[in-house]
Each structure stands twice: as C-alpha cells, then as structure tokens.
Chain A
C-alpha cells in the first residue's frame, strides 16, 4: 500500500517533465525545418529555371573563308566571338572583357583587343598587356561539323596557359 503510493507520486511528477521536453524538441525541430525550408524555397524562387536565348553552338562557315594571320570580326555582332587563323590552325576568343564584362574592340592597326570601358588591352594570345583586367580572354571550343564547316561552342571556355592552346580549343588546319 505504502510503496504503491510512492510509485504513483513519482509517475505524476515525472510524466509532464518528459512530455515537456518532447514538446520543446518537437516545436524547435518543426520551426527550424520550416524556417530552413522557407528560406531555401524563397532563394530557389528567385533563380530562373528556363532561360531563353540563342544557342551557344553555331556553324561558322568553312576554314578557307578565314585568312591566315587575320582576326575575323565576322561573328562579332551576332555571336560575340573572334575567329583567328594562324599558319597552324584556328582558334576563337569569347568577346567578353575579363575585367567587368564589356565588349572589347579589335583594333587592326595596333594588333590589340581594346576594351572601351576601362581600357584593358589584350594581345593575339588573349593575354592582358594593359589595363585592369585580371585574366586573359577566354578561348572557346572549335571543331568541324560533318559537312566540313567550323562549329564554335561558347559553352566551354578556357583561359589557362598550356591548356587553352591545345585540344578542343585549337583546330589544326
């Protein structure tokens, strides 16, 4: 009888305490996860899932249409690339200044790509020879289509010395 009474008291004090702890864990967990989920959803909302625009791959005509030793500005306006043919082959630059993203001009007389925004200058290797740009111009992939035309793919770009002059970034002609 006495021991039974004791047990009853312990139970009554114990149970609400444990329930309280569970309640706290439950609520904190619930609020934490709703907060994180809400935050992530909001961030994700502001990220567009579909972007409309011209394809980054395009056919650029036959290699013979490009003169040796010349920088071609033929695709500048439409696609924003320069195509350059040397004695050994063909490579292409993305016409985006590596400083803050303006479009440089090819200046034939000086043999330099010159950016009008803050005056970065690049040589025929794409290396910076003046101005604030921190890195060289990007080169993009040049390959052949089955019909023998050049295909330029702007989605893959490279600016590291030693990598950018070889492989898919240089097409021997």
Chain B
C-alpha cells in the first residue's frame, strides 16, 4: 500500500506535465529552495532572503500585505457584482435589490465588497502610519512613499466612486455634496476664488458630466470605479512592491 503510493507519487513527479510546471526538484536542499523561489511566478515576487527583523509581525503588522489582500477581495467580489449590476438610472437601484434578494449569495457579495472597502481604507492609512513611525519614508525609500501617497488617493477615489453606484438616497446626496465641493476649487470651480469658468464648464461639471448628478455621472463613476482606477492601482502597486525590493527590502529597525 505505502509502496504503491510512493510509486504513484514517483510516477506523477516524472510526468511531462509535472516537469513542465515545476522545473526544479523537491525543495529540500538549499539549491532547490532557491530555484523554487526563482522559477515560480508568484514566489519570485518575494526576495530570496529577507532580514529576520523584517519578518517580525510587530514591525510591519502586515498592513501593506493586508491592504493588497483586501484589494484582491475587492476585485473578485467587484467583478462578480458586475455580472448583475447595470449602471443606469433605470436599473441601478433595482439591481442592488435583486442582488440582495434574488441572486445566490448576492447579499453576502455586496456586504463583503463593502466591508473590504472600508477595511482597505483603514489598513492603507494604518500602513502609512506604520511606515511613518518606523521612519521607512527616509532615503532611499522616499520615492516609494510618494508612490504610496498616490495609492492612498486611488483607494479613497475608489471608495468615493463606488459609493454612488447603489443609487439610493444616501449615495445620491453624499455624491451631490462631495462633487459640489469641487465648485469651490480656486480658478477651476464656478464658485471658488478667482473663478473664470461657468457652471457648464467647471471642475464639478467635468466630474458629474452634467450640471446635476445624472445618468452621465453614474456611468462616469462606474467606468472609473470598475476600470480606470483599479487599473491605475494595479500598475502603481506593481511599482510599489518592486521598489520595496530595489530599495533593499523592508527597512530595518531604527
């Protein structure tokens, strides 16, 4: 019995399929472990060696990693929501109701998307605090801090654009108030200091795609929320992670 199992395993790990996926042997020697990391797409994102100080949970609290994890949760639940959500004035609210009452696990999906969104805003801010308190923003990591700031802004914009999508009273008035603030922008806002643009061409108009919140606004926010902003976030996160390694790995204790 045991022998049969061993023979089976031996046969499996010598098939062409197995060998084409895992190009190195079992990771039980130093050499094979290194090769495993180098040859595996997901593993190679990690450095071959990390400082033990960087592994201490209390140094990073894993906050960057948790932010990344929550973003992945957002992407998966978000894409699933997109199968049932139509961004039009006629259907948006109705589709939210259908998601809650008719779609299998729809309510769970919505709640997961919402809680992960709140969670991500929280962990990104805490991650920024961690980086600040460990002094990890100092050279050579100042560039990565700036990439991080853009990531923070993207996270907040994702939350803001997502907020309109349910198209209920809360969403409508929250975004009315939120976009109205753009009118107070200096020069570019219709009511701001030194304004030069009219209500039909100021920042607020570009945000809304009309004078008031409308079909245009819903579509705009939907495209931004589901395509433009997540794409930008993915690109910047790639740069962010790449830079963590190029800057010499996680910073050491002060």
Main secondary structure of the interface of A (DSSP, over half): loop
CB–CB A48/B209 < 8 A: yes
B214 close to chain A: CB less than 8 A: yes
Query: When chains A and B are docked, how far (Å) is the Cα of A16 from the Cα of B69?
Result: 60
CB–CB B177/A48 < 8 A: no
B85 close to chain A: CB less than 8 A: no
Given contact pairs A47-B205, A48-B209, A53 touches B214 in the complex (Cβ within 8 A)? yes
CB–CB B205/A100 < 8 A: no
CB–CB B181/A48 < 8 A: no
Given contact pairs A47-B201, A47-B205, A102 touches B177 in the complex (Cβ within 8 A)? yes
Choose among B176, B180, B216 the residue that contacts A51 (Cβ–Cβ < 8 A). B216
A49-108 interface (Cβ within 8 A of B): 51-53, 100-102
B115 close to chain A: CB less than 8 A: no
List residues of chain A with CB within 8 A of the CB of B176: 100-102
B211 close to chain A: CB less than 8 A: yes
B26 close to chain A: CB less than 8 A: no
List residues of chain B with CB within 8 A of the CB of A46: 206, 209
A117 close to chain B: CB less than 8 A: yes
Interface residues on A, range: 10 to 19
* B-contact bits for A151-173, CB 8 A (1 contact / 0 none): 00000000000000000000000
List residues of chain A with CB within 8 A of the CB of B201: 47
B210 close to chain A: CB less than 8 A: yes
For the complex formed, measure the closest distance between the CB of B171 and the CB atoms of chain A, giving whole angstroms.
13
B173 close to chain A: CB less than 8 A: yes
Choose among A53, A100, A102, A117 the residue that contacts B210 (Cβ–Cβ < 8 A). A53
For the complex formed, measure the closest distance between the CB of B124 and the CB atoms of chain A, giving whole angstroms.
26
List residues of chain B with CB within 8 A of the CB of A101: 176-177, 180
For the complex formed, measure the closest distance between the CB of B29 and the CB atoms of chain A, giving whole angstroms.
56
Given contact pairs A47-B201, A53-B214, A100 touches B209 in the complex (Cβ within 8 A)? no
Query: When chains A and B are docked, how far (Å) is the Cα of A131 from the Cα of B175?
Result: 20
For the complex formed, measure the closest distance between the CB of A32 and the CB atoms of chain B, giving whole angstroms.
23
Choose among A47, A51, A53, A102 the residue that contacts B206 (Cβ–Cβ < 8 A). A47
List residues of chain B with CB within 8 A of the CB of A102: 173, 176-177
List residues of chain B with CB within 8 A of the CB of A52: 215
For the complex formed, measure the closest distance between the CB of A117 and the CB atoms of chain B, giving whole angstroms.
6
For the complex formed, measure the closest distance between the CB of A129 and the CB atoms of chain B, giving whole angstroms.
21
CB–CB A51/B211 < 8 A: yes
Query: When chains A and B are docked, how far (Å) is the Cα of A51 from the Cα of B201?
Result: 13
CB–CB B209/A117 < 8 A: no
Query: When chains A and B are docked, how far (Å) is the Cα of A48 from the Cα of B209?
Result: 6
Query: When chains A and B are docked, how far (Å) is the Cα of A53 from the Cα of B210?
Result: 10
Query: When chains A and B are docked, how far (Å) is the Cα of A80 from the Cα of B97?
Result: 28
Query: When chains A and B are docked, how far (Å) is the Cα of A53 from the Cα of B216?
Result: 11
* A-contact bits for B172-199, CB 8 A (1 contact / 0 none): 0100110011000000000000000000
Task: Report, nearest first, the 7 A-B pairs whose CB atoms are least far apart.
Answer: A100-B177, A101-B180, A100-B180, A101-B176, A51-B210, A48-B209, A102-B173
